[in-house]
Structure 1
């Protein structure tokens, strides 16, 4: 049974359980139902955003009948078989609801379906945290509170470049301030080697953010990847004790690697490689829990905007691939391996290795026709992942030819990147066959909500197979 508010009815001399709308019903509807039942054309003609609409709309009449759960399809359709087409919410969305949630709706309706006047519901993301792990909604709320507290202290800080250190390891890293603005995302059809997935070009707007000056190195990432504690496969510490451990300890982290993950190509000063997007996301969460700043992977739009750095040419240095040797490590000059970060020329905004060295994870789901779906003039576009493959990577790597290092080139991840992984099921932390894949971080100037933090850091949770 869900936790419910208990009111003592003195006149009757007995305790009666009452479901509180704001505490127990509103979160169920906002996280599971409102996204499909809002706007001018809600599913089934049912709009669940206001009391008046919720109690009067629906193609087949009202779906909520106060004090009559068995006459209320809002309740009835939540408890049908998961195989039934009438299930609400459907399996391909976020259904079915947990038994406790279904019982809460039943009891709420039976008690009169109280909906306080003036309360309007808005769709909210359903937290996708690991079951049985301290890396849960409560942890996200604690990290969020830390970020808000830190931002208050930094309220007068300017949007400028900065250098910092990972608190637990004292390893340095640097962030470049990227000004907000608009740009044309994608490449024109006239650009040599233009790919269909690079168009049509769309003008989009980005708010200011900081971006890693270089790709995340082994110096930064390895202490996160390899620790002295034993972990469950989902990354939870086996010895986790909330009375002894910190919010940093609660963040899920990789299990011990089953091979040497630099593959002999070099470690100190070299880019970390072969991590899944989930692992890169969790590194960002781990660093955020230490610093009180929100770090995450860049969106595709942020990545390309920063890579172009105000240019409209095929590369950030122009259209001539003959100049690549000055700016990038790629097939012709890499000696068949990655190289130390920051050893070539940077782009106009001071970012190194945006072309070549290692491909870089972005936060988005990869869709070949993304730009066809993208509305021109969109602000901070982000294609939130809804499945594990493919996820978007950018930038080209040390084994790529010049045409694949262009600013607009897009690719998607693939299960074959785990082909040599001997584990069954495959690891959620390593892409053993992607020795040309790494990442860099961004830090948006605007502080996210808890739901947004969850969407970025836990986009693979529950989808890992």
Structure 2
């Protein structure tokens, strides 16, 4: 984590804002040079990832945001490298291909895997990286940092959700009985559903709000009050970060800035994850 004084903030002249459009057909990439020129890729187990452009954003929430928490200190973050992120949460079919088992309570090949701990998620990343095709291509998967997760979730927006100011269960899979904003009550499905049933954000990512919580790589800690570059979170801690809300969570907990934490060994039927592929190899 690299702090700076506000008057010395570097100017980011330009960065790509549109990724993963429908016109970009995904393909399996087997060469590390080829991957750096692709907007969307499909790896050896059929997992699709989209390229997220580097850039800067305001992380956390402004004081005016309804239902904001004290741990959402608004601060500027610069991410200096592009990265690939799973278009969907890791599905049960993908998890079983890599781990040889499916621990989920709500079974379904296209549903997100759940009942997975942070430890399970990181082990999945390690095992996937060891697949022969992935090793040959030099791909090493991991969980996103909390900053990368929120940046990707927002996709250039500053509202509580990438689709706007309101959520009632019609825009994402959550408990719509307690809506956010001025909207009326909406559906509560009481279970996770197949990945990708709701529209993606501007960068092609589905289910960043709701469905299942997503583990991040960071230890949980308080935010700084100054700007940071490529934050990684604290060096140690007791809890790991999870983000995005879930199918059984009320709408306000699905906000882009809303933060949660759990012991890294905890498993629940609304804990899942998606994978990140860095571009620094």
Q: Where in structure 2 are the equivalents of 1:420-431 lying within 5 Å?
A: 431=266
Runs of 4+ in 1 over 6 A off after TM superposition: none
Match of 2:248 in 1: 399
Task: Report the Cα distance in structure 1 between the residues aligned to 2:55 and 2:90, rounded to whole angstroms.
Answer: 25
Pair 1:262-2:116 in alignment:
no
Task: Report the Cα distance in structure 1 between the residues aligned to 2:223 and 2:36, rounded to whole angstroms.
Answer: 36
Q: Where in structure 2 are the equivalents of 1:331-370 lying within 5 Å?
A: 331-332=175-176, 333-367=187-221, 369-370=222-223
Q: How many residues align?
A: 236
Counterpart of 2:170 (choices 293, 300, 325) is: 325
Q: Deviations over 1:37-82 (max 9, x none)?
A: xxxxxxxxxxxxxxxxxxxxxxxxxxxxxxxxxxxxxxxxxxxxxx
Q: Is the 8 A contact 2:35 2:41 kept in 1?
A: no
More relative contact order, 1 or 2 (CA 8 Å, 6+ apart)? 2
Pair 1:277-2:144 in alignment:
no
Task: Report the Cα distance in structure 1 between the residues aligned to 2:162 and 2:36, rounded to whole angstroms.
Answer: 29
SS of the aligned residue for 1:364 comes to: strand
Tell me: CA distance 1:161–1:262, structure 2 relative to 1, closer, same or farther (3 Å).
Answer: same
Task: Report the Cα distance in structure 2 between the residues aligned to 1:442 and 1:334, rounded to whole angstroms.
Answer: 30
Match of 2:127 in 1: 286
Tell me: CA distance 1:299–1:155, structure 2 relative to 1, closer, same or farther (3 Å).
Answer: same
Aligned-pair CA distance for 1:150: 5.3
For normalisation by structure 1, the TM-score amounts to: 0.48
Match of 1:411 in 2: 260
Q: Is the 8 A contact 1:198 1:371 kept in 2?
A: no
Counterpart of 2:229 (choices 379, 384, 399) is: 379
Tell me: CA distance 1:289–1:156, structure 2 relative to 1, closer, same or farther (3 Å).
Answer: closer
Asked which structure has the greater CA Rg, the reply is: 1
Q: Is the 8 A contact 1:197 1:371 kept in 2?
A: no
Aligned-pair CA distance for 1:312: 0.5
Match of 2:37 in 1: 158
Task: Report the Cα distance in structure 2 between the residues aligned to 1:156 and 1:344, rounded to whole angstroms.
Answer: 27
Task: Report the Cα distance in structure 2 between the residues aligned to 1:208 and 1:358, rounded to whole angstroms.
Answer: 25
Match of 2:50 in 1: 176
| Structure 2, unpaired ranges of 5+ | 1-29, 177-186
Q: Is the 8 A contact 1:385 1:391 kept in 2?
A: no
Task: Report the Cα distance in structure 2 between the residues aligned to 1:156 and 1:297, rounded to whole angstroms.
Answer: 19
Task: Report the Cα distance in structure 2 between the residues aligned to 1:331 and 1:271, rounded to whole angstroms.
Answer: 17
Between structures 1 and 2, the one with greater helix share: 1
Structural RMSD (CA): 2.0
For normalisation by structure 2, the TM-score amounts to: 0.79
Aligned-pair CA distance for 1:197: 0.5
Q: Is the 8 A contact 2:220 2:234 kept in 1?
A: no
Aligned-pair CA distance for 1:224: 3.2
Q: Deviations over 1:74-119 (max 9, x none)?
A: xxxxxxxxxxxxxxxxxxxxxxxxxxxxxxxxxxxxxxxxxxxxxx
Match of 2:141 in 1: 295
Tell me: CA distance 1:157–1:303, structure 2 relative to 1, closer, same or farther (3 Å).
Answer: closer
Q: Deviations over 1:242-298 (max 9, x none)?
A: xxxxxxxxxxxxxxxxxx7322x2221010112111111111111112203021000
| Structure 1, unpaired ranges of 5+ | 1-148, 167-171, 228-259, 416-427, 448-465
Counterpart of 2:271 (choices 437, 440, 446) is: 437
Aligned-pair CA distance for 1:341: 0.5
